[in-house]
Amino acid sequence: MVEQFRNFVNKNHLFDRQQKVLLAVSGGIDSVVMAHLFARLELQFAIAHCNFQLRGDASDGDERFVEALAGELRCPFFSTRFDTRAYATRQGISTQMAARDLRYGWFEQVRQSAGYDLVATAHHAGDDAETFFINLMRGTGLRGLQAIPLKQGTVVRPLKFATRALIGQWAFDEGLEWREDATNAETHYLRNKIRHQLLPLIEELSPGFAQRLNTTIGHLSNASDAIDSLVENQRDALLRTAPDGFCLDLEALKLLHPVGFWLFELLRPFGFTSPVVDNMAKAIDNPTGQQFASASHQAVLKQHQLLITSRAAAITRVENHVFTSPEQLMLPGGIVNGRLVERSQLPVEPPDGQQAWVDNQQLVFPLTLRRWRKGDRFVPFGMNGSKKVSDFFTDLKLSPWQKANVWILCDGLDRIVWVVGYRADNRFGMTSQTKQVWVLRIGE
């Protein structure tokens, strides 16, 4: 098991021995096995545990158990408690979804503040099958039927090589202790119904189904990757930059079949929903100036073209925008805005591509928002060395039209603070001394 774990991590380049990994440990068998595997390989890691306070004394018992496990493995330990039901009520979501939002948000906060490179969760091969059926029932497209990603941003899943049976057998053979969550046996939740009722029934009807399904999910993931590559090639060919946005060649689009599929995929970066794209597809044979909108863009059918503009197009003609006041960072039209908060008041949700959290003590005003330039360098968050912005774009496989629409936020020393929408600069990340944080985000 240890050798399989080592080989899987190395083969998929999930992390190396120099990187520090924060392990999400609930106390259940999967995360306990993951922690022991990290310890066996003498990797740099810490344990983080969330007490969602959903099971009374049992939740507190889990917290004590995981803290003791961290002591046994001689690694740092972080824990927190959430009023999960109250959060779910405020957000109007299920307790399961609330717990997911809360834990990932907190893991990211700890990762940044404590100086860890990655967060590792204990998803394994069996989770793919359950997620497949959940998304199938919800009617998602091909993307929803893929495997859970091995690496997603700063989150890695190093147990994806192992089945539930393999994990259980190794834990038993090694004499490991773990906590059993009674709710995992209940069938109130859809995932548990699939795990305990649907999958065993299908396995009974068709022995070996689980392995074949994992193979099929792998094929679907490969197919989706191939489709993404084809779409990107067509996007480069059909979508051209225009003064205030982009222009899609409708005559060339009509040569692709089915048109609705291609139109939806080509416009995915602009946030147009499926019903809106369906209406576009019906109207392209008779373009009469019809307009369509997403949260961030608008499109108009004109002759043989679809013109797409950002809602911030009116101000994108200006090359530079300078902000001299630390009180407010804002651009009309929603390119980027921000607010200064006490560290203790940071949102629960972690920063993603649409946000950046910046240590106010590191900033030198005025700030400037400008287009990226050749020769620009920054220190991508999570790295120590600098990198050319152009090389960063190449790593992300950004097309020319995507690069043309990127904004850069710089401080008064012309240091890049944020490649807007993609990555913050590591020099402005939070430290243990951080008191106030700029929460920067795209949109109004």
Give the domains, in start order, of the chain with CATH numbers: 2-211 (3.40.50.620), 243-310 (no CATH), 317-441 (3.50.40.10)
State percent of the chain over pLDDT 90: 36
Higher pLDDT: 202 or 440? It is 202
What confidence tier does 401 reach under pLDDT thresholds 50, 70, 90? low
Whole-number average pLDDT of the chain:
85
- The answer to whether residue 362 scores a pLDDT higher than 70 is yes
pLDDT value of position 312? 56
Start-end of H helices in 313-420: 313-316, 389-396, 400-403
Task: Work out the angle at residue 215's Cα, subtended by the Cα atoms of residues 151 and 162, and round it to the nearest 5 degrees.
Answer: 55
Mean pLDDT within 140-149: 78
- The answer to whether residue 157 scores a pLDDT higher than 90 is yes
* 68-82, 243-257, 339-353: range with lowest mean pLDDT: 339-353
Mean pLDDT within 32-54: 96
State percent of the chain over pLDDT 70: 89
What confidence tier does 347 reach under pLDDT thresholds 50, 70, 90? low
Q: Give phi and psi for 338, each to the nearest 5.
A: -160, 170
Please state whether the predicted TM-score (pTM) of the whole model is above 0.75: no
Mean pLDDT within 292-321: 72
- The answer to whether residue 186 scores a pLDDT higher than 80 is no
Higher pLDDT: 338 or 401? It is 338
- The answer to whether residue 311 scores a pLDDT higher than 70 is no
- The answer to whether residue 379 scores a pLDDT higher than 60 is yes
Amino acid at 118: L
Neighbours of 92 (CB within 10 A): 8
- The answer to whether residue 281 scores a pLDDT higher than 80 is yes
User: Averaging pLDDT over each range in 245-249, 325-329, 340-344, which range is the top one?
Assistant: 245-249
User: Averaging pLDDT over each range in 52-66, 212-226, 319-333, 370-384, which range is the top one?
Assistant: 52-66
The string of DSSP letters for 242-255 reads ETTEEEEEHHHHTT
pLDDT value of position 385? 82
CB 156 within 8 A of CB 181: no
pLDDT in tens, 223-251: 888 988 899 899 888 988 876 688 999 99
CA distance 67 to 25: 10
Mean pLDDT within 148-153: 86
pLDDT value of position 317? 46
Higher pLDDT: 327 or 390? It is 390
CA distance 219 to 217: 5
- The answer to whether residue 364 scores a pLDDT higher than 90 is no
CA distance 430 to 414: 20
pLDDT value of position 266? 92
Mean pLDDT within 118-122: 96
Rounded to a whole number of angstroms, the CA Rg of the chain reads 24
pLDDT value of position 131? 85
